[in-house]
A and B are shown apart, each in its own frame.
Chain A
């Protein structure tokens, strides 16, 4: 395999791996944030009911 093709492969696979990693990080953090917001909202609603 010629060196140019190796560098080309590294560049494009690097791009897509980084993009997939970034998207995965966004999705994971989003799920964690949504769960926290839901839990807090439920707690706030329960407190209001008790009050």
Chain B
């Protein structure tokens, strides 16, 4: 199954890159740098899904106290931070030739940075907290509360005044650009599934190792 996923990810990622650079037309006003858009938006969507999974699995962990939901939340947060980091890396690179600066403290950028920082803090809670149910419970609460920021990132364009915005409220795309965007979404969905599978099986293995260590210590 993992090998098949590797193959699917390779094919879809190559197709996505091919579509971004060869199929999608060059945007008239921004030029070639607009091609950052395809992976930038797909990454933002993947990060949003990851944070939603943190929220759902944290709620489920508090209900069931099943360690598997705790691990699922941890892995989802890690992937969310990974994809958000790319959003925060590629955004300024796109902004520099268009806005003339790498960064502006406008609503979308600021809320995205705050969300990223909160989930980094969530991962730190998990890493540096003492192993056990107390840290898992605390992490679950942080995972639930942190999710408040995610819709804020999405709706920041409507929530703050128009003169403070640099992101457009709606993006009109040519049909080929739309198709390229959806191909990138699909490629990122496959990549997300692969990374999730790899990290979850690794966390499962780590839990087994801990159990074995406890068992040998008791003998």
Contact = CB atoms under 8 A, between A and B. Distances in A.
Interface residues of A, number: 27
Interface string A11-43: 110110011001100100110011011001101
A50 B101 CA distance: 70
Contact of A33 (B17, B40, B209): B209
A26 B199 contact: yes
B121 interface: no
B205 A12 contact: no
B89 A11 contact: yes
B174 interface: no
Nearest to B89: A14
Contacts of B31: 2, 4
Main secondary structure of the interface of B (DSSP, over half): helix
Contacts of B219: 47
B84 to A, nearest CB: 12
Contacts of B199: 26
Nearest to A18: B86
Given A7-B93, A15-B86, A44 B206 contact: no
Interface string B71-102: 00000000000100110011001101100000
Contacts of A3: 33, 96-97
B206 A33 contact: yes
B36 A34 contact: no
Given A37-B212, A40-B216, A44-B212, A10 B32 contact: no
Interface string B198-213: 1101100110110011
Q: Chain B CB within 10 Å — which of A2, A14, A15, A41 has the most? A: A15
A41 B30 CA distance: 59
Nearest to B39: A15
A51 B85 CA distance: 53
Contact of B39 (A5, A11, A26, A41): A11
Contact of B213 (A4, A18, A23, A40): A40
Interface of B: 17, 30-33, 35-36, 39-40, 43, 82, 85-86, 89-90, 93-94, 96-97, 191, 195, 198-199, 201-202, 205-206, 208-209, 212-213, 215-216, 219
4 closest pairs, A vs B, by CB? A4-B33, A7-B93, A40-B212, A11-B90
